[in-house]
Amino acid sequence: MSLLKFDNLSVEVEGKEVLNNFNLEINEGETHVLLGPNASGKSTLLYALLGFPKYNVKQGKIIFKDKDITDIDIEERAKQGIAAVYQNPPSINIKLSNLLEKISKKNVKIEGIESLMQRNVNIGFSGGERKFSEVIQVISMDPDFIILDELDAGLDVENLERLSLLIKKQLSDKTVLLITHRGKALNYFEPDFAHVMMDGEITCTSDNYKKIWKLIEENGYEKCKTCKLSSDR
């Protein structure tokens, strides 16, 4: 059953069209990965999905759980069950433990981050500590749909494994969109579908993420413009 659908979505940021007739449908329980070169619009898709005001939808719509959410505000989207691990999460003047009290639907404990709980969110956190803070927030919210924007950036090898396995265990029946530049994260999440985004639109989709990743590693993204890989969907 379809959980999330981007239907011909065009999005403008600061006067620049970043998403261009973007189409993607994700069914309940599936894991998808979105690959693509820097500045192709991956994080913009996340911000448009979450409803950040600067990200102007010029055309098309976003359907979540059969409802058109294109024009509803950020808090309402979170209440509907959408959550994100941000590539560049903001710093907030509130203790992580207090924030979790406000947003938690379920209690989660990650060992070794007790001292972070007493600090203001992301202020002075190392790159990896930010990811721990992001992941504990997302798991606590118990969302139905999770978008992970470069979970792997800034995490060391052990912590990437630790957080990936934690997300998989805690959110095992959930629907996930992973955005990454690294093959390692793909192996933990084993996505059902892989998509390549170039200049704000999907140019290539496959149900074989290993094949797509190998082509990218061997040829870079340039070849994806003319790639003919496609799934049965």
Ligand X SMILES: Nc1ncnc2c1ncn2[C@@H]1O[C@H](COP(=O)(O)OP(=O)(O)OP(=O)(O)O)[C@@H](O)[C@H]1O
Query: By the criterion CB under 5 A, which residues form the site for Mg ion?
Result: 42-43, 87
- Residue nearer to ligand X on the CB measure, 120 or 203: 203
Q: How far is the CB of 232 from ligand X (least distance, A)?
A: 27
Q: Which two tokens stand for residue 211?
A: 């094949």
**Torsion (CA) 183, 185, 189, 191 in degrees, nearest 10:** -40
Which of the choices Mg ion, ligand X, none does residue 226 contact, using the CB cut-off of 5 to 8 A by kind?
none
Q: How far is the CB of 114 from ligand X (least distance, A)?
A: 31
Q: How far is the CB of 107 from Mg ion (least distance, A)?
A: 31
Q: How far is the CB of 119 from ligand X (least distance, A)?
A: 26
The alpha helices in the chain, defined as continuous H runs, are 42-50, 74-80, 96-103, 114-117, 127-141, 157-170, 183-189, 209-219
Q: How far is the CB of 140 from ligand X (least distance, A)?
A: 25
- Residue nearer to ligand X on the CB measure, 22 or 189: 22
Distance, in Å, from the CA atom of 111 to the CA atom of 114, rounded to the nearest integer, reads 7
- Residue nearer to ligand X on the CB measure, 42 or 174: 42
- Residue 186 · residue 180 · CB < 8 Å: yes
Give the binding site for ligand X (CB under 6 A).
Answer: 13-14, 16, 18, 36, 38-44, 54, 87
Residue nearest to Mg ion (CB): 43
Exposure pattern of 31-53 as b/e (b: 16+ CB <10 Å)?
bbbbbbbeebbbbbbbbbbbbee
Distance, in Å, from the CA atom of 68 to the CA atom of 1, rounded to the nearest integer, reads 16
- Residue nearer to Mg ion on the CB measure, 21 or 87: 87
DSSP secondary-structure letter at 223?
A: G
Q: Can you name the residues that pair with 177 across neighbouring β-strands?
A: 32, 147
- Residue nearer to Mg ion on the CB measure, 87 or 104: 87
Which of the choices ligand X, Mg ion, none does residue 202 contact, using the CB cut-off of 5 to 8 A by kind?
none
